[in-house]
Amino acid sequence: MRIEIRRRKDPAGRPYIVSAEYDNTEEVTVAQALDDLNSGIYADDPVEWEHSCRQKKCGACAMLINGRPRLACDAWLKEFTGGVIRLEPLKKFPVVRDLKVDRSVMFDNLAKLGAWLEETASADSNGVAYDASRCLQCGCCLEVCPNFYAGGKFFGSAALAPASRLIAEAEGDDEKRLYGAYNGHFYRGCGKSLACRDICPAGIDMESLLVNSNAAAVWKRKFRGKKK
């Protein structure tokens, strides 16, 4: 197996490709292969990449693997039968170094949306709130979304999931504020192509989230408005 990596020394540096042969393809993830290369051929100049849990739980290791946004700890070498794997940083976020990107725009958007949970929050083990709460904030959905770009008004599915979690339970003033934010930063910009659904490593059912959140935050609201 040949592993090609698109590297860059710093945000302003020119990207370049390095390539290494890797022998062990049995039950090895891209994450493990990166570790092995970093302690071997790249020991003097390790490839930078973000990771924490290595169990598909933190979302930190998202990168482009043969052009598709995926989690490195959930991509197995044996899946790639063509003999070559190309690793690149996500393209919708600024590169920090090598495969590491700065995803702070995604977290800033959540703050703008007010999408955080209070101490008393809980979720049943089924339903929209539970499904939405599985979001890893990896950013893979933003990578494939045709309408998302950093700094834009449209926040994409990385915001839809937490917003849906809250919309499912919101009441009173919080309900009004959330519905307004959802309309402005998600509903009006989403083309409903559902490319985000097909790429989400957590397997979140975006279609259900969209249907439920649109029903609560848009259609119910319009209907209420007409009745007045």
Distances (CA, A) of 201 to 56, 62, 101, 112: 8, 9, 18, 25
State which of residues 3, 30, 101, 190 lies at the interface with ligand SF4 (CB under 6 A): 190
Find the binder of ligand SF4 among 66, 137, 183, 208 (CB under 6 A): 137
Among 1, 33, 37, 73, indicate the residue that binds ligand FES (CB under 6 A). 73
* Rounded-to-integer distance, Cα 54 and Cα 23, Å: 21
Answer yes or no whether residue 60 interacts with ligand FES by CB under 6 A: yes
Distance CA(105)–CA(151), nearest Å, equals: 7
66 to 3, 32, 94, 195: CA distances (angstroms): 10, 17, 19, 17
The upper half-sphere exposure of residue 103, i.e. CA atoms within 13 Å in the direction of its Cβ, equals 25
Q: By CB under 6 A, tell whether 75 contacts ligand FES.
A: no
**Binding-site member from 18, 28, 150, 194 for ligand SF4 (CB under 6 A):** 194
Q: Using the rule CB under 6 A, is 66 a contact of ligand SF4?
A: no
Place of tokens 């490319």: 195
1 binding partner (options ligand SF4, ligand FES, none; Cβ < 5 to 8 Å by kind): none
Among 5, 59, 197, 204, interactor with ligand FES by CB under 6 A: 59
Distance of alpha carbon 22 from alpha carbon 35, whole angstroms:
12
Exposure of 132 by Cβ count < 10 A (0-12 exposed, 13-18 middle, 19+ buried)? buried
- Cβ 199 to ligand SF4, closest distance in Å? 6
- Kindly list the distances between the CA atom of residue 215 and the CA atoms of 19, 112, 182, 184, in Å, as whole numbers in the listed order: 49, 22, 12, 15
Q: Find the binder of ligand SF4 among 153, 188, 192, 220 (CB under 6 A).
A: 192
* Residue 204 tokens, joined: 């979140």
**113 is a site residue for ligand SF4 (CB under 6 A):** no
Nearest distance, CB of residue 191 and ligand FES, angstroms: 28
Positions in the binding site for ligand SF4 (CB under 6 A): 59, 135-141, 145-147, 156-158, 161, 190-196, 200-202, 204, 206
Q: Which residues of this protein are in contact with ligand FES, per CB under 6 A? A: 51-54, 56-61, 71-73
